[in-house]
């Protein structure tokens, strides 16, 4: 049994790419592992948030975890800010992190460009260090992530190795775990851009709360490649992305899907893909609607109570190593 940790920010609407790239893995990996999953609300406030909306979204994200199949009997689910050791370890790791390595983080560059680097807060610049603290605090061995997060895993590994070298063996060196097809789901409207809740076009993503008609409309508008054959190939990136979605939701291999559409066109394929997505989302949305705020908050508080002793034990070990009195 291995310890694994992962989390998602409570900002924006989660979409199919979040599910395929991360949450689907979480559900699979909770079997036979010590799984720790988190709503990372402290990461969300690195950019301005409406306080009322943030509280609401935090519970909504937890509900999505649960409706997706994360089982509190098999995995631990909690809110990051409920365990103060995350920020305490984050500060200590800040003292060994280097400016140059944080300046290279692509997500900071992307967000800073949108708002202007000079106007960005220090929290946005340093949040990859807090992400490293989230991971290292629990002696995490596996981090199920999307492809766009692997740079953050490398930073966590670098900080762990640097700390261990300076102060003695303290942290486990984590490994990122990518699902092959769902590592990075691209937008149906543009296979060169990842599916994103902050995209300017609604056709870039399928929200987990989209109704059936919205899904059908978005998939009908999905771009395809030149030619008319349904082929799974690198030189057909738009079609390959759509087939990956079909594969991950249906359980069929790309080759099986390709064989299903010999002699058939994009219209048939997109119609069927839309129904596969609707077939996944409809029962998911029913489970989501059935979860109450009180029920979810009880689960989150119990999760925090469970992991807090683990977090504090590791934090005290770190305090001892760096020479702090506690």
**Active-site residue identified among 24, 57, 63, 111:** 111
| Contacts of residue 94, Cβ cutoff 8 Å, sequence gap at least 6 | 126, 129
Give the per-residue pLDDT at 15. Answer: 92
Length in residues, the chain: 326
Active site residue 111: yes
CA 78 – CA 131 distance, rounded (Å): 15
Active site residue 194: yes
User: What domains sit in the chain, N to C, each tagged with a CATH number?
Assistant: 3-178+293-322 (3.40.50.620), 186-288 (1.10.240.10)
| Phi, psi (deg, nearest 5) at residue 107 | -70, -35
| Contacts of residue 83, Cβ cutoff 8 Å, sequence gap at least 6 | 304, 307, 308, 311
DSSP state of 226: S
Q: What is the pLDDT of residues 215-237, one digit of tens each?
A: 999 999 999 888 788 889 888 99
What pTM did the predictor assign?
A: 0.88
**Active-site residue identified among 147, 197, 220, 306:** 197
Q: What is the pLDDT of residues 53-62, one digit of tens each?
A: 999 999 999 9
Tell me: pLDDT of 106 over 80.
Answer: no
Q: What is the pLDDT of residues 238-284, one digit of tens each?
A: 999 999 999 999 999 999 998 998 888 889 999 999 999 999 999 99
**Active-site residue identified among 24, 63, 194, 240:** 194
| Phi, psi (deg, nearest 5) at residue 232 | -95, 100
CA 24 – CA 31 distance, rounded (Å): 12
Give the per-residue pLDDT at 198. Answer: 76
Token code pair at residue 99:
């400016």
CA 305 – CA 98 distance, rounded (Å): 33
- Report the b/e string of 246-263 with b at 16+ CB within 10 A: bbbbbebebeebbeebee
H or E stretch covering 68:
helix 51-68
Active site residue 301: no
Mean pLDDT of 200-218: 92
């Amino acid at each position: 049994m291995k310890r694994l940790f992962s989390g998602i920010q409570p900002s924006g609407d989660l979409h199919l790419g979040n599910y395929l790239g991360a949450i689907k893995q979480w559900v699979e990996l909770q079997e036979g592992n010590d799984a720790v999953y988190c709503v990372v609300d402290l990461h969300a406030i690195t950019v301005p948030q409406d306080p009322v909306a943030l509280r609401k979204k935090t519970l909504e994200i937890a509900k999505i975890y649960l409706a997706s199949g994360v089982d509190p009997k098999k995995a631990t689910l909690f809110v990051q800010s409920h365990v103060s050791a995350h920020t305490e370890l984050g500060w200590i790791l800040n003292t060994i992190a280097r400016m140059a390595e944080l300046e290279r983080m692509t997500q900071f560059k992307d967000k800073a460009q949108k708002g202007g680097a000079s106007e960005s807060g220090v929290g946005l610049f340093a949040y990859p260090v807090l992400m490293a603290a989230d991971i290292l605090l629990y002696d995490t061995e596996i981090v199920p992530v999307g492809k766009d997060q692997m740079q953050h895993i490398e930073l966590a590994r670098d900080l762990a190795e640097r700390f261990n070298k300076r102060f003695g063996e303290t942290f486990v060196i984590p490994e990122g775990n990518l699902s092959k097809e769902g590592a990075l789901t691209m937008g149906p409207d543009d296979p060169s851009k990842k599916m994103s809740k902050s995209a300017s076009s609604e056709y870039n993503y399928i929200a987990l709360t989209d109704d059936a008609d919205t899904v059908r409309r978005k998939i009908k508008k999905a771009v395809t490649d030149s030619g008319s054959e349904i082929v799974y190939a690198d030189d057909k990136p738009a079609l390959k992305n759509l087939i990956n979605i079909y594969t991950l939701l249906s359980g069929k291999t790309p080759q099986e899907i390709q064989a299903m559409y010999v002699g058939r066109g994009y219209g048939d394929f997109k119609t069927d893909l839309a129904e596969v997505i609707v077939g996944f989302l409809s029962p998911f949305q029913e489970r989501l609607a059935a979860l109450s705020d009180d029920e979810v908050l009880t689960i989150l508080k119990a999760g925090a109570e469970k992991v807090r002793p683990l977090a504090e034990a590791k934090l005290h070990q770190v305090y001892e190593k760096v020479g702090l009195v506690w």
